[in-house]
């Protein structure tokens, strides 16, 4: 059995800020902003008890925004005892309303609500004086903030003073410095709030006394120590996919335990151009890691012979991958630990994720439950951008650290129809041109993904006076924040022109190039 989640979820010797999650996406953004201020933060559910908070001894607590009203039946409310712990606390949006309600102020439908940008004025200490709150020491006397609320605090709780207002929220900020409880009606974590990050920093550094010690090198040190104590002198294996998560996880574990680590790279024959060489050069060459390269293209293509159905393709690839990995792992018999590149958003979402299944995702790391390994997950407290920063700090090459996401089943789900070695060749060559030209245009990092798709149909063309009957290639390029939704990228015409002419001239078997202009929804990013 794969062992359950294990180990500390964050480096305990750092100051930790607990972000209490009241729903929606706000909590993740707050946690990221706190980390950008170099203070470690973790998201906790609103059901956490005061005793559990006290046991964690955080440097501060932040109450996030949320989609509900505190007056709604079933609204998420935290244990009121948390506000009695003496821990510096910041309530944001819904959080200010929670603080007001639990400490004896009053929250009401003020009538108008505020949505979007509005101006905020910190209350001066006296008529011409400095702002009355340390939170606003470093920001202008009036600035724009992002609001999104219907209810508002109409009366601050006893002991609190009002420290700022907006046109429709007379209590847009309040605090009780004695109890170190602060609250804001606006969202300092969103980019549209001018000075928002500065306000968060003032709370973290001035109120909570946090030190800015959460840096990529402290992350690496903590992960190295934790991996060492978890695995001792035992052997560890790690599946490499060519993607950034498994690469950074492998490099971190290697830093921790050196040649106790063996990496396994399964070449499915469905990878992007240069991927296998890149993995070889980086891990065997640069890092001198023990690397087993399993050449399995024939086996995968054999298993996929004549299969056109997308779900069957995914299933076959997933199963074949597991078989190959199991056989390889059996040859490395004494390894007891398996590295997984699990990220923090996976941890936050697991358990709450109940979305309808659109596609059965095959994760390269998604190995079966009955494999006798204990998991090593050195990235489980990190967001994707932090994983990239760690990768850079560890010296991984830019091509790996900044590589666009690539689906586990690889090029197979970009060939719409049955898969043959020749079709994989065509798609790989076209895809390499897309990547090269998008990079050359300086757009590679801005795009979430940009790639080629090969629908297995043929169309008539004319090349050098001759009739051709060959495949079209479709260019797919999207912008996105998290792949849940995406927009088709408005690629410049001259880039599209170069793509069209290079693909048709350089890739045999292609006589037409088309552009996919579908957002997600209604489309998905991949074609299958
Ligand atoms: P879709 O096509 O569902 O893709 O809009 C969303 C994101 O997920 C990637 N993707 C996968 N990743 N295994 C993966 O690890 C898979 O089976 C898989 N299918 C899609 C896709 O590239 C996009 O970034």
Active site residue 189: yes
250: alpha, beta or left? (left if phi > 0; alpha if psi -120 to 50): alpha
For 242-281, write each residue's pLDDT tens digit.
Answer: 899 999 999 999 999 999 999 999 999 999 999 999 999 9
Handedness of CA 515, 520, 521, 526 (dihedral sign): positive
For residue 85 the two structure tokens come to 């712990």
| Residue whose CB lies within 8 A of the most ligand 1 atoms, among 407, 449, 478, for a mutation test | 407
For 60-107, write each residue's pLDDT tens digit.
Answer: 999 999 988 899 999 999 999 999 999 999 999 999 999 999 999 999
Cα-to-centroid distance, 365 and ligand 1 (Å): 14
| Fold agreement between 2-207 and 414-515 | no
pLDDT of residue 404: 95
Percent of the chain with pLDDT over 70: 92
* Catalytic choice (189, 386, 437, 528): 189
Q: Is the peptide bond before 521 cis (omega within 30 degrees of 0)?
A: yes
Are 478 and 518 within 8 A, CB to CB?
no
Are 226 and 251 within 8 A, CB to CB?
no
For 169-219, write each residue's pLDDT tens digit.
Answer: 999 999 999 999 999 999 999 888 889 999 999 999 999 999 999 999 999
- The CATH classification of domain 2-207, taken from the options 3.40.630.10, 3.40.50.300, 3.40.50.880, 1.10.3720.10: 3.40.50.880
For 291-343, write each residue's pLDDT tens digit.
Answer: 999 999 999 999 999 999 999 999 999 999 989 998 998 998 889 999 999 89
Cα-to-centroid distance, 442 and ligand 1 (Å): 24
Q: Which pLDDT band holds residue 14 (cuts at 50, 70, 90)?
A: confident
Q: Which residues line ligand 1 (CB under 6 A)?
A: 314, 358-359, 361-363, 405, 407-409, 449, 483, 520, 524-526
pLDDT of residue 127: 66
Total-model pTM: 0.84
Domain 216-401 falls under CATH 3.40.190.10 = no
Other CB atoms within 10 Å distance of the CB of residue 78: 25
Averaged pLDDT score across all residues of the chain: 91
pLDDT of residue 193: 84
pLDDT of residue 110: 63
Domain ranges for the chain: 2-207, 216-401, 414-515
pLDDT of residue 4: 33
The CATH architecture assigned to 414-515 reads 2-Layer Sandwich (3.30)
Report whether pLDDT(375) > 70. Answer: yes
């Amino acid at each position: 059995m794969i062992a359950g989640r294990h180990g500390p979820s964050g480096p305990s010797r750092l100051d930790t800020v607990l972000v209490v999650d009241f729903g929606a996406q706000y909590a993740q953004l707050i946690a990221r902003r706190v980390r950008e201020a170099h203070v470690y933060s973790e998201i906790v559910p609103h059901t956490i008890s005061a005793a559990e908070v006290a046991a964690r001894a955080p440097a501060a607590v932040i109450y996030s925004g949320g989609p509900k009203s505190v007056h709604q039946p079933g609204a998420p409310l935290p244990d009121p005892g948390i506000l009695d712990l003496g821990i510096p606390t910041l309530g944001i949006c819904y959080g200010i309303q929670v603080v007001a309600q639990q400490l004896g102020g009053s929250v009401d439908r003020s009538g108008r609500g505020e949505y979007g940008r509005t101006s905020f004025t910190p209350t001066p200490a006296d008529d011409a004086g400095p702002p009355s709150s340390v939170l606003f020491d470093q920001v202008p006397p009036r600035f724009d903030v992002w609001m999104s609320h219907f209810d508002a605090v109409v009366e601050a709780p006893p002991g609190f003073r009002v420290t700022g207002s907006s046109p429709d929220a007379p209590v847009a900020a309040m605090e009780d410095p004695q109890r170190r409880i602060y609250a804001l009606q606006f969202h300092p974590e969103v980019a549209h709030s001018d000075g928002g990050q500065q306000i968060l920093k003032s709370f973290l550094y001035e109120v909570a006394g946090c030190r800015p010690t959460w840096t990529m090198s402290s992350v690496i040190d903590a992960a190295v120590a934790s991996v060492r104590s978890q695995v001792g002198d035992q052997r560890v294996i790690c599946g490499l996919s060519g993607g950034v998560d498994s690469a950074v996880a492998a490099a971190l574990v290697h830093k921790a335990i050196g040649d106790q680590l063996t990496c396994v790279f399964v070449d499915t024959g469905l990878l992007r151009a240069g991927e296998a060489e890149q993995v070889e050069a980086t891990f065997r060459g640069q890092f001198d890691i023990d690397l087993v390269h399993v050449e399995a293209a024939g086996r995968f293509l054999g298993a996929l012979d004549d299969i056109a159905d997308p779900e069957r393709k995914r299933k076959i690839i997933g199963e074949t991958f597991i078989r190959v990995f199991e056989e390889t792992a059996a040859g490395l018999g004494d390894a007891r630990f398996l590295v997984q590149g699990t990220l923090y958003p996976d941890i936050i979402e697991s358990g709450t994720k109940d979305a309808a299944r659109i596609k059965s995702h095959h994760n390269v790391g998604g190995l079966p439950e009955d494999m006798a390994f204990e998991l090593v997950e050195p990235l489980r407290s990190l967001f994707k951008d932090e994983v990239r920063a760690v990768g850079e700090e560890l010296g991984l090459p830019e091509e790996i650290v900044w590589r666009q996401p690539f689906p586990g089943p690889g090029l197979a789900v970009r060939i719409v129809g049955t898969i043959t070695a020749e079709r994989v060749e065509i798609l790989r060559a076209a895809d390499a041109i897309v990547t090269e030209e998008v990079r050359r245009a300086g757009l590679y990092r801005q795009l979430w993904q940009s790639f080629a798709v090969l629908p297995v149909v043929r169309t008539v063309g004319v090349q050098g006076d001759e009739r051709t009957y060959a495949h079209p290639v479709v260019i797919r390029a999207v912008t996105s924040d998290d792949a849940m939704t995406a927009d088709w990228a408005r690629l410049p015409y001259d880039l599209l022109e170069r793509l069209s002419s290079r693909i048709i001239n350089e890739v045999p078997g292609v006589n037409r190039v088309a552009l996919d202009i579908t957002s997600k929804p209604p489309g998905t990013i991949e074609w299958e």
